[in-house]
Structure 1
Amino acid sequence: MVPVNAPLSHVQQEAAYLARLGARVRAWRAERGTTRKVLAAASGVSERYLAQLEAGEGNISVLLLRKVARAMEVPVEALVREHDAAPRRSRIALLGLRGAGKSTLGAKLARALDVPFIELDREVENDAGASLGEVFSMYGQEAFRRFERRALERVLKQHERAVIAAGGSLVTDPGTYQLLLDRSYCVWLKASPEEHMARVIAQGDMRPFKGRSAALDEIRQLLADRERLYARADVTLDTSGRSAKQGLAALRALLAKEEA
């Protein structure tokens, strides 16, 4: 029997390195919103080979890797370094609909961990010089998605450690969501529709339900529509029936358990 703490064999070390290399290529590609097909055309490396590389199965040559790096406009040394500068767990991203507790628990968790707390929606507002409602009304949803993507890219580059509160609809943008999944440890803060509704009302802001009589039904539908997307998070925490203090304790316990 091989001891649990036995050092990795040479073959295992090489496999682990190729897996890290593939993950970096995949993360950089996702950050740029580039499909594998587009990257293949830009780099001259076949799409099939890129798929193997990203899966950690391709022992790529230096020259081919250089082509891939140039096509993504990333230094090749950023791909081949031995260790990641910022492990995914160094950033905690909170997902969920409004009223799930992202802002409240996120701020408290960041203070407890002594890291910055960043709300992507506020970053979008700062970049646009307008409220979210104004961004949507003046520029439309596609422009909002571009603001959101740029804000996330900047946050990831500037903060190796942080707690990030993602906008409730970020998960519906495949490229931006994949970037968040690749570069941070994602927690879905889940709550019952009634709890979401009560918290939104308590906040005094009915956006995006203003003027709609069936707001609770709409929340139920949003949760149903996005459940599959939110479930892609690394872990899930149900905040229903929990105070902010209880929610924070449960969140920290969950993170500690997953880290063990």
Structure 2
Amino acid sequence: MSSKIMPVDDAVLPNLEPVVLSNEELASGKHPFLVQLGERVRGVRNQRGMTRRSLALAAGVSERHLGNLELGVGNASVLILLQVAKALRCTVAELLAEEARSPEWLLIRELLENQDEETLKRVRQAVLPLVGAAPQGDARPPRIALIGLRGAGKSTLGKMLAEDLGFPFLELSREIEKLAGCTVNEIQSLYGQNAYRRYERRAVEEAIQIHPEAVIAVPGGLVAEPATYNLLLSHCTTVWLRAHPEDHMKRVAAQGDMRPMAGNREAMDDLKGILAHRTPFYSKAEMHLDTSSRPLDQTFLSLRAMVRGALQLSAAE
């Protein structure tokens, strides 16, 4: 076996560095690109809140094969694709895209390629009204969305806040079930994750259309769907209710829901992984509140003051 993938002709592309693999790397598949690919697969899986077993079943692949992919043990053909992309001076994503991108898209992507997170945030906020994804100016109505992992206190605090403000309270999971005519678990088991995300998007759209004022408890995994999350961020005042992983697990179990621990010895590790990968998305919320640090009544008072300040409402005594 050759010790490397054939390099691109330097006479044609003198500045291109070929992907060179040792025999050991070829045998193990532990090329840095494959390791990075595995980490990204694991990261997206955690963002979706899926276990390795559930993803393997949904994808129709063996759990062992998926495990090897996440560990960076893959087929060398992936590296050949990487080398071709380097030769074309494009990204692997561009080669794998289902549709060809327009010149304007490519030019915009180039401008944003190496920008820092704060700059990207400002660009996103500026673009939203231009593409019709957000109200113009200060037209956003007083609609509150509580985001965070299960067990953060969204339902409990959301009901208290809605009563205090005189707003309707919406549990978005229940709205999804009304649209589908079955439970969330049944949607996912019968129709799959993609169908659930479509119902989730419809539920958010209807909540925005029907309720100019509301407090909405949002499912923890919604942030993994960029289009739906953009809709929420642009039409709601968002609050991230955060808690320690142990509190998330304890509160869910206290509600009688043992699913996070059922048949899963690594439940806490999975939960920590999900929280770690979703945190950058949750942190896009306008306000953050730690629900682990104080008793419920004190936490509610902090939330009440925070939201009323954002909405510029006078406290109703």
Question: TM-score w.r.t. structure 2 length?
Answer: 0.55
RMSD: 3.0
Match of 2:225 in 1: 173
- State the distance in 1 between where 2:169 and 2:288 align: 20
The partner residue of 2:185 within 113, 133, 141 is 133
Q: Is the 8 A contact 2:135 2:234 kept in 1?
A: no
Match of 2:71 in 1: none
Q: Does 1:247 align with 2:265?
A: no
Higher relative contact order (CA 8 A, sep 6+): 1
User: In structure 1, the residue corresponding to 2:220 is in which secondary structure?
Assistant: coil
Match of 1:202 in 2: 254
Q: Does 1:118 align with 2:170?
A: yes
- Where do 5+ consecutive residues of structure 1 fail to align? 1-37, 59-64, 73-77
Tell me the alpha carbon deviations over residues 176-221 of structure 1, each in whole angstroms, 9 at most, x when there is no partner: 0000000000000000001101101101113354321121111111
Matches within 5 A, 1:142-181: 142-181=194-233
Amino acid across the alignment from 1:132? V
User: In structure 2, the residue corresponding to 1:169 is in which secondary structure?
Assistant: helix
Q: 1:213 to 1:259 in 2, by over 3 A?
A: same
- State the distance in 1 between where 2:304 and 2:178 align: 30
- Where do 5+ consecutive residues of structure 2 fail to align? 1-98, 109-122, 313-317
Could you tell me how far 1:257 is from its partner in structure 2?
4.2
Q: Is the 8 A contact 2:135 2:235 kept in 1?
A: no
Amino acid across the alignment from 2:156? T
Q: Is the 8 A contact 2:260 2:267 kept in 1?
A: no
Q: 1:249 to 1:79 in 2, by over 3 A?
A: closer
Match of 2:237 in 1: 185
Question: TM-score w.r.t. structure 1 length?
Answer: 0.67
What is the aligned residue count?
Answer: 195
Instruction: Give aligned-pair identity as a percent.
Output: 47
- State the distance in 1 between where 2:308 and 2:215 align: 15
User: In structure 2, the residue corresponding to 1:222 is in which secondary structure?
Assistant: helix
Q: 1:100 to 1:257 in 2, by over 3 A?
A: same
Tell me the alpha carbon deviations over residues 99-142 of structure 1, each in whole angstroms, 9 at most, x when there is no partner: 00000000110000010000111111111111111111001000
Amino acid across the alignment from 1:179? L
Matches within 5 A, 1:14-25: none
Q: Is the 8 A contact 1:104 1:244 kept in 2?
A: no
- State the distance in 1 between where 2:138 and 2:184 align: 38
- State the distance in 1 between where 2:138 and 2:220 align: 32
User: In structure 1, the residue corresponding to 2:262 is in which secondary structure?
Assistant: coil
- State the distance in 2 between where 1:147 and 1:199 align: 26
Tell me the alpha carbon deviations over residues 18-61 of structure 1, each in whole angstroms, 9 at most, x when there is no partner: xxxxxxxxxxxxxxxxxxxx9xx9xxxx8799xx9x848x9xxx
Match of 1:91 in 2: 143
Q: Is the 8 A contact 1:95 1:189 kept in 2?
A: yes
- State the distance in 2 between where 1:126 and 1:243 align: 33
- State the distance in 2 between where 1:128 and 1:169 align: 18
- State the distance in 2 between where 1:130 and 1:237 align: 32
User: In structure 2, the residue corresponding to 1:99 is in which secondary structure?
Assistant: coil
Q: Is the 8 A contact 2:167 2:214 kept in 1?
A: yes
